[in-house]
Amino acid sequence: MDLQALKAIGQKIRVIVCDLDQTLLNSHKHISPANLEAIRAAQAQGIFVTLCSGRIFTMLETYARELAIDGPVISTNGAAIVNARDNILLAAHPMARDVALSILDQALNRGYDTAALTEEACYFSANSIRVERFQQYNGIAGEQGLKEIPILPMADSREAVSSSVLKILIQELQPGDLAHAAQMLQSIDGISITSSEPGLLDVMKVGVDKGSGVAELRAILAVEREQVCVFGDYLNDLPMFAEAGFPIAMGNAHAELKARALAVTDGYEEDGIARALYEYIL
């Protein structure tokens, strides 16, 4: 598609949805000055800019505040939508508790690096290396006076998880972990499986993904598909590409995402979002 055609599509955009890691954030986990300036220019034109991430909302709050998002934010791969204005939960789609606990039982018994993410806390197996990311975020949140994430152990018992599970993570520790985990999960009904980065499986309630989150967002904001632009980089972003009129892949994106995009911009370290906004929308 040529530039003029893409600009014509861009002029219809009223909502921009950005994935976070490897998309909006640079390698230091910051929004670059160039991306922030471009987003503020879009907001000044009345375009609503928000986030859609595999992270829980608590881990999005610092960025929602920096972007001055006054409305819904999609978290946990579409399992929850929170109004960033007042932190009120607008929608939640937790896994069936018996299904979540069954998965946790099997994952813990097999020694997988396992996490259960809930609205109240995040639970980790004793061998988790992924917990370091959540501890890192708590350091950032503490510096900004924001709420920290309660990080709790699962030990060897899934019964430690006391509230509704929005998402389960299985991180590869040993070669073959993910292949074996995926085989285990295939026999379980009521779940959907994706991957938000290499070496990781994300497990949610059946029918829940970033696409369902964007569809809910459209309904809340009363906008049409062709009025939505999305930015993403990895496989869990594919469903939201299908729910947007203008899907844009980052230069560092997975090949499958690039194949589904209308445009490919620069990478996350090269202010790819800013470039695309100025080139097609602003």
pLDDT along the chain (282 residues), means of 10: 94 98 93 98 98 91 94 96 94 93 92 91 92 86 83 74 89 91 92 93 96 97 98 96 98 97 98 98 97
CA distance 20 to 231: 9
Burial of residue 273 (CB within 10 Å: 0-12, 13-18, 19+) is buried
Q: Residue 160: what pLDDT? A: 67
Q: How many residues comprise the chain? A: 282
Q: Residue 127: what pLDDT? A: 93
Domain edges within the chain: 3-93+209-281, 97-205
Q: Is the overall model pTM greater than 0.95, yes or no?
A: no
Q: Residue 16: what pLDDT? A: 98
Q: Residue 159: what pLDDT? A: 65
Q: Residue 136: what pLDDT? A: 84
Is the domain spanning 97-205 CATH 3.30.360.10? The answer is no
Structure tokens, 131: 């917990």
Q: List beta partners, residue 189.
A: none
**In this structure, what are the phi and psi dihedrals at residue 50, rounded to the nearest 5 degrees?**
-145, -175
If one counts every other C-beta atom within 10 angstroms of the C-beta of residue 40, the result is 12
Name residue 53's amino acid.
Answer: S
Residues 6 or more apart whose Cβ sits within 8 Å of residue 62: 140, 141, 144, 146
Burial of residue 3 (CB within 10 Å: 0-12, 13-18, 19+) is exposed
Fold of the domain built from segment(s) 3-93+209-281: Rossmann fold (3.40.50)
